[in-house]
Amino acid sequence: MRYRELTDLVDDVLGPVQGRLMMDELVLDALGNRTGARALADGVEPRAVWHALCDALDVPESRRWGGDPHRQAPPRRR
């Protein structure tokens, strides 16, 4: 997943205003007590940030990939 794909999903699934707010303000345990924006700046993969954000917000799997039926869901890294 690329940064652009992450921002597209944040806008599509969470909304452009609320999603960006969550990226900037919500501190996530799964990201070492960092916000999504801080984790990205520190070099964390966008895929890991997206999964951490969705997990924290209880976004169901069926909604995690937005409204584009052709978008490929990035799997979690094991």
| Digit-coded pLDDT (tens) for 6-23 | 999 999 999 999 999 999
pLDDT score recorded for residue 78: 63
Cβ atoms of 74 and 1 closer than 8 Å: yes
Domain map of the chain by residue range?
Answer: 3-62
Assess whether pLDDT exceeds 70 at residue 3: yes
pLDDT score recorded for residue 77: 66
pLDDT score recorded for residue 62: 83
Which structure tokens are listed for 53? 């954000």
Helix axes 46-56, 16-25, angle to 10 degrees: 100
Assess whether pLDDT exceeds 90 at residue 75: no
Which structure tokens are listed for 42? 């520190």
pLDDT score recorded for residue 30: 96
Best CA proximity match to 50, nearest among 69, 78, 28, 71: 28
